[in-house]
Structure 1
Amino acid sequence: MEKTKCLYDKFPYETEFDANVLAVKALKEAQDRYEVILDQTLFFPEQGGQTPDQGWLSVGHGLRPATRCEVLDVQIRDGVIVHVIEQKLEPGDQVHGQIDWDYRFSNMQQHTGEHIFSGIVHSTFGYENVGFHLSDSVVTMDFDGVLSPEDVTAIETRVNQVIADDLVLEIAFPTPQMLESMEYRSKKELEGQVRIVTIPGVDVCACCAPHVRRTGEVGGLKVMHVQNYKGGVRISILCGFRALDAFRQKTKTVDEMMGLLSSSEEELRSHIKRLQTENQNLAYALRQAQEKILAQEAKGLDADAEDVVLFADACDSKAMRSIVNDMVKDHAGYCAIFAGGDEQGYQFIVGSRTKDCRQEAAHLRETFDARGGGGTQMIQGSVRAAKVHLAENWMA
């Protein structure tokens, strides 16, 4: 089958088109879903790390009523673009396609912003963009070198200056001979016709996706998150309206926190740190109190019993471990503490100085589907079971 004519290459700002249905295939793995191949399309397929366009196909002629089908997915295979819909069409049908412009334009903003960012990283540090992902909620770039927080801030500022400069993007389809003499970024070896996207003075990159006409249309870029990744760095960004939505959400969150803490924005950080310190102090005091209570209960256990168990409310694991270590000094068998309740389940620690606790771990897994593990002298984990059943059947 001939390759699909990609209208989005030359007409990224068009939103509607007409096409002929060349082939239709029912999907075996999804009931009432069909793959439709057209002679031409505006729908950008999933490729290059970017999600596909969204939109609709409409058909109706002769005695058949007009139908409007949502395009659920768009994929490309050997140059043939496949549209997935829930309406069965017929080869020879004429369809009218309409893309979701807001979704398309948002992706154009994100992808162009990524080019600006990657181009500046490449020209400044020599790093390659080795991974790119553009979904509905996140845009990530993976670089094969480390960037400091100061580096990232400086790059972000330069990117937004490029956006403010409102540079005109250039799209070209150079011949193989021209490509040999060009310097451009590319994540993989390319075959066939190569599409080059140039942002003058900033970036030259092989790319198949639609972009905005001018950098000013990106609207702005904000770095959302930075993390070390595979010896390099992964950077998450948002551009344009997505960045605006994220800022609104963060502002709403900050406002809510200010209200809860009766704090100004300037004082918010110090108030949160104070609460963290108070929480740590309370947690320590609680652990000390729990240890005292458990220690007192442990003293009340039958001194002649080999295997002993204590049940407690939700309890700090350090306190549980400390008491179990004391219990094994006085009892030769398994010494266990189950902390929690029937509704939420129990955390447990089991220790012994004479028995293999791994056998008890296996017993708890087989009997109660418990989770956890450990070594010969001590195990720990969690279990969902009623206290009465645990009390009767916890020992191997």
Structure 2
Amino acid sequence: MTRKIYYEDSYRKTCNTHIVQQHKDEIGLYVVLKETIFYPTGGGQPHDTGTMNGVVVTQVEREDGEIRHYIETALPEGEVTLELDWNRRFDHMQQHTGQHILSAAFAESLGYETVSFHLGTDLLTIDLKTPSLTSEEALHAEDLANRIIQEARPIETNWVSREELINYPLRKHPSVEEDIRLVIIPEFDYNACGGTHPRLTSEVGTIKVFDWEKHKGNVRLQFVCGDRVRKQLQGKHEAIRNLTSTLQSPEGKLVEAAEKLLHKQKDQEKEIESLKEQLLSFELKDLVANAATKVSYTYIKGAFTHRPIKELQTLAQNITEEYNQTVVVLTVQNDEKLQLVMAKGSEPAVDIRSVAKLAFHLINGKGGGKECLVQGGGEAVMTPTEFLIQIEELLD
């Protein structure tokens, strides 16, 4: 089994070691080493990356009691030089230790225990065992966590047996029975953890809570630590700067400017809906004026392009509600789709569903509806006007 150098010294960036075996699995080509500085995925922390004799290490996983280093190309047997992607490693050290500190702060100040943890590429999340969280509580825990960071407390590691755990006030007891590694911030946090951590809390830099939401009866909290705070701040600063330019408003009045814009948009949407209703009213009169008289009903038809099918449904229903002796057929082409709306008033003894079924067959389509309203569509194998002619023949 690979010796865990990364447990012993999180700061070790290079290492010379030997390949024990080289194989391939469903993920890809991997090597097992005599010893390693690469951290495998586990405990909520992602794996390290880097190089092995210059060959990129893309993934590191623990499988069947061994640590598998997945590489892009095969390596000759013998000694290899490992080199970490240090920026990634140190980021994970900051984030993981920041999570320890923030979780301890919630437990210490509010009694909210952390039940799960995830370290993502942009944000971190912890699930707190509480049904709700207030802004004041979140800020209180964040302040405590940052005080611990500023005090530059030492971060210690200690290997203990199961029997020795009684000597430490652990927040959560480990699931393993042996080789238990404790990460300790004296007089604040005692945690069983195999992850990578800095030597002092001050190296975490800072912690910032962003948001939280309810999740499966708990609260899922989003936050970042260390250099990620600066990156997030830069991103938010650029977004605010763009908004101040777009909205022509100073930063302090962005919310007010956005609310005015939203109110204006709602007013415009109401005005548009009113104009659409007027347009449909004019279209209704125009279609009725050009209606044809059949033996037992008045036939109204219309062919369109680039019109929402819902608008035509509304138009057809409005006509049949006002003129109950009518049969209405409206066709429309939207891109490569040919669509149909058929409606009838209460008087005509016409089975529009049967007619529509035959019509849909002509365009390799399908549809459905009620006795007085049918809609559907298919392929644009003909123009809307040609489709109308075919439907009128079916009706006749």
1:342 to 335, 343, 346: 335
Structure 2 residue runs of 5 or longer lacking an equivalent are none
2:15 to 6, 14, 17: 17
Say which SS state the counterpart of residue 220 (structure 2) adopts: strand
Match of 1:161 in 2: 147
Q: CA deviation at 1:262?
A: 2.2
- Do the aligned partners of 1:141 and 1:235 also contact (CA within 8 Å) in 2? yes
- Do the aligned partners of 1:291 and 1:320 also contact (CA within 8 Å) in 2? no
- Do the aligned partners of 1:327 and 1:335 also contact (CA within 8 Å) in 2? no
Match of 1:63 in 2: none
Q: Aligned partner of 1:10: which letter?
A: E
Cα distance in 1 between the residues matched to 2:361 and 2:5: 59
Matched, 1:43 2:38: yes
1:129 to 107, 110, 114: 114
Distance verdict in 2 for CA 1:98–1:374, change over 3 Å: farther
Say which SS state the counterpart of residue 45 (structure 1) adopts: coil
Match of 1:64 in 2: none
Q: Aligned partner of 1:41: which letter?
A: T
Match of 1:57 in 2: 52
TM-score, normalised via structure 2 length: 0.80
Matched, 1:204 2:187: no
Say which SS state the counterpart of residue 173 (structure 1) adopts: strand
Q: CA deviation at 1:313?
A: 5.3
TM-score, normalised via structure 1 length: 0.80
Match of 1:118 in 2: 103
Matched, 1:299 2:285: yes
Matched, 1:26 2:24: yes
CA RMSD of aligned residues (A): 3.9
Cα distance in 1 between the residues matched to 2:111 and 2:218: 12
Give runs of aligned pairs for residues 1-396 of structure 1, distance below 5 A. 3-27=1-25, 29=26, 33-58=28-53, 68-90=54-76, 92-145=77-130, 146-180=132-166, 182-186=168-172, 189-301=175-287, 302=291, 304=297, 311=304, 323=315, 325-329=317-321, 330=323, 341-342=334-335, 392=387
After TM superposition, the structure 1 stretch with the greater mean CA deviation from structure 2, 271-280 or 257-266, is 257-266
Distance verdict in 2 for CA 1:292–1:115, change over 3 Å: same
Q: CA deviation at 1:232?
A: 1.4
Cα distance in 1 between the residues matched to 2:203 and 2:8: 18
After TM superposition, the structure 1 stretch with the greater mean CA deviation from structure 2, 120-129 or 154-163, is 120-129
Cα distance in 2 between the residues matched to 1:374 and 1:216: 68
- Do the aligned partners of 2:170 and 2:190 also contact (CA within 8 Å) in 1? yes
Say which SS state the counterpart of residue 180 (structure 2) adopts: coil
Q: Aligned partner of 2:114: which letter?
A: N
CA deviations 1:19-52 (Å, max 9, x no partner) are 110111134x56xx41110011110011112211
Q: Aligned partner of 1:235: which letter?
A: L
Structure 1 residue runs of 5 or longer lacking an equivalent are 59-67
Distance verdict in 2 for CA 1:390–1:241, change over 3 Å: farther
Cα distance in 2 between the residues matched to 1:112 and 1:136: 16
After TM superposition, the structure 1 stretch with the greater mean CA deviation from structure 2, 301-310 or 275-284, is 301-310
- Do the aligned partners of 1:324 and 1:337 also contact (CA within 8 Å) in 2? no
- Which structure has the greater CA radius of gyration? 2
Q: Aligned partner of 1:132: which letter?
A: F
Say which SS state the counterpart of residue 89 (structure 1) adopts: coil
Cα distance in 1 between the residues matched to 2:102 and 2:219: 13
Q: State the percentage of identical aligned residues.
A: 26
- Do the aligned partners of 1:55 and 1:71 also contact (CA within 8 Å) in 2? yes
Q: CA deviation at 1:83?
A: 0.4
Distance verdict in 2 for CA 1:169–1:311, change over 3 Å: farther
